[in-house]
Amino acid sequence: MKREVLAEEYLDQEQTIIAEIGALAQQYDDIINLSLGDPDYPTNSQVTEAAFQDAQEGYTRYTAAVGDPELRREIIKYNQKEFGYEVDLSQVMVTVGACHGMFLALESILDEGDEVIVPAPYFTPYLEQIRLAGGKPVILETTEDEGFQINAESLQALVTDKTKAVIINTPNNPTGVCFSEEVLTDLEEVVIEEDLIIFADEVYGALSFKHDFVPLATRDRLQDRTITVASFSKDYAMTGWRVGYVIAPDFVIDSMQRVNEGICYAAPSISQRAALHALRLHKEIQPLMVDEYKKRVNYAYQRIKTISNMSVLPPEATFYLFVNIKDTGLSSAEVSKKMLEEARVLAIPGTAFGECGEGYIRIACTVDKDKLKSAFDRLAEMKIFNQ
């Protein structure tokens, strides 16, 4: 088969920055990998064992397209108990992780040419997901000077008669920041005034160390205009199980279900059982895991403070640090490359998360403190971090 069989759209695709760095990384065997958001922390063994047991008992067939009813009921119970958020069964759909949930929701909402405002730096796949759904991403840059918070006035300035929605990701990847109460209240005003929908990406909800996490949809005026995307990947250390869920008005869920009939019909049944057990055990599972991530990011933060030409905001949430490397005088890509070649430490250039990520690298604390120590010991030896 000739390469030309590829659709024009995919024929001349440039390699992504992440793929480029990944390819470079293959050349070394002594790397400390702080790149992808996939921590070494294992899924709790009780969850794995209970899911295994369920598989042996016959949970090996398609579930309902919207998900295992037992899991959906548990999701409702969890949201009610934790946040006082009352959701009906018809408003919950289990998905193959948050990525799949976000795409189904975008595809259900967007008409050709509809604009979606995306605060930057952003989770890289959003742009392609919006485009695949026929929409147009419109970037709203945030700055370190403003603590990477959303500026509501700047948001409003981007609204046109084509704007349909805004994606709000808090706690945030890649910055590790939580949007403040004031910022969210200002955002709420704009969203209502401009009649927008919110795609609330809350996949790091349990990993908020500084403030108690509160889902955006619990705000009275936002409930009816928010589509919440959640996941078991990060909050339960279950990235490979590929399971998440969406909470949205029932007609959105109905549409998502229809779209998904042409994609994968339902999320994997065994992963859904694992998610059910994880939810039931969340009080046992999460505190230890969250504490571990908190220790890691705090350790990394302390080390960064002692290294020349690196600085970072104090950690608030997630396991990411968005590190300012502007004083090296080099670009993000150059710094990442040097870190890999000279220190065998793999981190992602900030530009992978949008143009305003130039001058930053994202460090994901996906390894334990001993390995983080080795990583920072190596970085501290580099010339660019010693001038």
Q: How far is the CB of 267 from ligand PLP (least distance, A)?
A: 11
Between 177 and 384, CB nearer to ligand PLP: 177
Between 59 and 353, CB nearer to ligand PLP: 353
Between 244 and 349, CB nearer to ligand PLP: 244
Q: Which long-range contacts (CB under 8 A, 24 or more apart) does 384-387 make?
A: 384/309, 384/328, 384/330, 384/335, 384/338, 385/307, 385/308, 385/309, 385/310, 385/328, 386/308, 387/308, 387/309, 387/328
Between 39 and 359, CB nearer to ligand PLP: 39
Q: Name the site residues for ligand PLP (rule: CB under 6 A).
A: 37, 97-99, 123, 169, 173, 201, 203, 231, 233, 239, 244
Q: How far is the CB of 220 from ligand PLP (least distance, A)?
A: 25
Name the H helices within 264-328: 269-280, 282-305
Got the DSSP string for 184-225?
HHHHHHHHHHTT-EEEEE-TTGGGBSSS----GGGSTTTGGG
Q: How far is the CB of 386 from ligand PLP (least distance, A)?
A: 32
Q: How far is the CB of 202 from ligand PLP (least distance, A)?
A: 9
Q: Give the residue nearest to ligand PLP (CB).
A: 97
Q: How far is the CB of 132 from ligand PLP (least distance, A)?
A: 15
Q: Which candidate, 335, 201, 213, 253, places its Cα nearest to that of 65?
A: 253
Q: How far is the CB of 204 from ligand PLP (least distance, A)?
A: 7
Between 203 and 384, CB nearer to ligand PLP: 203
Residues 6+ apart with CB under 8 A from 6: none
Q: How far is the CB of 366 from ligand PLP (least distance, A)?
A: 11
Between 155 and 203, CB nearer to ligand PLP: 203
- C-alpha–C-alpha distance, residues 133 and 21, integer Å: 28
- Burial class from Cβ neighbours inside 10 Å (0-12, 13-18, 19+) for residue 185 reads exposed
Got the DSSP string for 180-192?
-HHHHHHHHHHHH
Q: Does the N-terminal peptide bond of residue 119 adopt cis geometry, omega within 30 degrees of 0?
A: no
Between 99 and 382, CB nearer to ligand PLP: 99
